[in-house]
Amino acid sequence: MAIKKVIIIGAAGRDFHNFNTYFRNNQDYKVVAFTAAQIPDIDGRKYPAELAGGLYPEGIPIFAEEELTQLIKVHGIDDCVFSYSDVSYQKVMNMSAIVNAAGANFKLLGPSDTMIRSHKPVIAVVATRTGCGKSQTSRKVIEELMAKGLRVIAIRHPMPYGDLVAQKVQRFATVADLKKHNCTIEEMEEYEPHVSRGNIIYAGVDYEAIIRAAENDPSGCDVILWDGGNNDFSFYKPDLTITVADPHRPGAELSYYPGEVNLRLADVVVINKMDSASPEGIQTVRESIAKVNPKAIVVDGASPILVDNPGIIKGKRVLIVEDGPTLTHGEMKIGAGTVAARKFGACEEVDARPYLVGKLKETFDIYPNIGSILPAMGYSDQQLKDLEATINGCDCDSVIIGTPIDLNRIINIKKPTTRVYYDLEEIGYPKLSHIINKFVKEQELTGEAVN
């Protein structure tokens, strides 16, 4: 049978994982190229030979997604494998139309071909959209497990935007490790809340190598926590799947890929942000769960907002800075910073758009529906400089930092700032603690504090 020529359509994450698990050593296929989207400045690289395996001694080139049609025709591509997440069904099928019209097959790889089995019990925390509150849910689960004396290793969905060989397996145990691995803002936002609480977290490119390193971590490992990102489904076969849904975007749980996959796979669904969502939005999410996964346990949750200095908000004209991906492909119109501005009495939410500098202008061109809030984009040194210049050039009294990290640590903000904090709180019953207790018993786990 003739070898099939393949392009993997991705965004520096699921695409590399799909290659590693399904194509790397598969002699029935030749992966001709990757294409890249969503993340700035990741095209024009190569997936390196050191990671690509013996069938690809020269590595695999990465092109901009805009070149897809031409690549299909020039190389006589048979299959295009769509491999990124947090996209509407309209976007998925538009891409299918582009691929089919160019003459190739359009494919999606599922869990059976891409999930790796761990030698340790796995809890997967995933979501229906970016920005649902998955990270605080992950932290809550880890706290419940650690309270039982169990050693938990978190593994985060990939964000390999730098040297891919150096990022094959990354281990973060301290804040200093973030600098050691040259982390972007997006990476720091995900890793720092873990390490600041004393948790060890792994990430990188090769998730087979990562899980084996995590299972044998020097600190010990009883449970793997998959901290999923970008509403992707787990890279590992889970023993318990917890899916977080967002009633601020009701209906998205049934209209975004692969968010609906996560909803259907869920053992537990956490409806988060109920303290700030409308009753109608909450009810829509409940109806979606009942429609596609009525056996799932539903946990009602809230993400109450705290700030370290309310006086910097009250009566002030504030610039709000939020997590970048939540505003861009996550399509959120408000975030924790906006909730804080309204809760603590800001007199005006200043529009960031007149003050944009450099690459931040490009971000708003690509995502014109962001609105007035400033996304904390920091994939490169230039973006960090542009973020700093935009904030300092803004005509405002103070800045609300709604990101999970303190931006003052990495850029020089010359205005008064206050940070927003939020953790998951369950409302009523059932609670995650009950679900974790059952999981621990079923897996026959024992720890220093487990009776």
Domains 4-110 and 122-304+425-443 alike in fold: yes
Size of the chain, expressed as the number of residues it contains: 451
Confidence at residue 443, expressed as pLDDT on a 0 to 100 scale: 95
- Mean pLDDT over 82-90 rounds to 95
pLDDT for 258-267, tens place per residue?
999 999 999 9
Between 303 and 284, where is the model more confident? 284
Confidence at residue 191, expressed as pLDDT on a 0 to 100 scale: 83
* Among candidate residues 7, 12, 82, 84, the one with its CA nearest the CA of residue 51: 12
Q: Is the pLDDT of residue 329 over 80?
A: no
Q: How far apart are CA 401 and CA 394, in angstroms?
A: 14
Q: Is the pLDDT of residue 223 over 90?
A: yes
pLDDT for 233-257, tens place per residue?
999 999 999 999 999 999 999 999 9
Confidence at residue 39, expressed as pLDDT on a 0 to 100 scale: 67
Tokens linked to 298? 């539903």
Position 61 confidence tier, pLDDT thresholds 50, 70, 90: very high
Confidence at residue 330, expressed as pLDDT on a 0 to 100 scale: 65
* Among candidate residues 267, 257, 1, the one with its CA nearest the CA of residue 110: 257
Sign of CA dihedral 104, 106, 112, 118: positive
pLDDT for 164-181, tens place per residue?
999 999 999 988 888 888
Q: How far apart are CA 108 and CA 32, in angstroms?
A: 17
Q: What is the pTM of this model?
A: 0.88
385 by Cβ neighbours in 10 Å (0-12 / 13-18 / 19+) ranks as middle
The answer to whether 40 and 10 have CB atoms below 8 angstroms apart is no
Query: What percent of the chain stands above pLDDT 70?
Result: 95
Q: Is the pLDDT of residue 192 over 60?
A: yes
Instruction: Please state which CATH number belongs to domain 4-110.
Output: 3.40.50.720
Could you say which of 3.40.50.10800, 3.40.50.300, 3.90.1150.10, 3.40.50.12660 is the CATH number of the domain covering 122-304+425-443?
3.40.50.300
Confidence at residue 283, expressed as pLDDT on a 0 to 100 scale: 98
Confidence at residue 369, expressed as pLDDT on a 0 to 100 scale: 81
The answer to whether 432 and 144 have CB atoms below 8 angstroms apart is yes
The amino acid at 351? D
pLDDT for 102-117, tens place per residue?
999 999 999 999 999 9
* 97, HSE (Cβ side, Cα atoms, 13 Å): 6
The answer to whether 117 and 232 have CB atoms below 8 angstroms apart is no
Q: How far, CA to CA in Å, does 442 sit from each of 117, 222, 242?
A: 18, 14, 16
- Cis preceding-peptide flag for 430 (omega within 30 of 0): yes
Confidence at residue 408, expressed as pLDDT on a 0 to 100 scale: 87
Ordered by start, the domain boundaries in the chain are 4-110, 122-304+425-443, 306-422
The answer to whether 240 and 124 have CB atoms below 8 angstroms apart is yes
Helical residues (DSSP H) of 346-401, grouped into ranges: 359-366, 381-393
* Among candidate residues 243, 65, 158, the one with its CA nearest the CA of residue 252: 243
The amino acid at 59? G
Position 451 confidence tier, pLDDT thresholds 50, 70, 90: very low
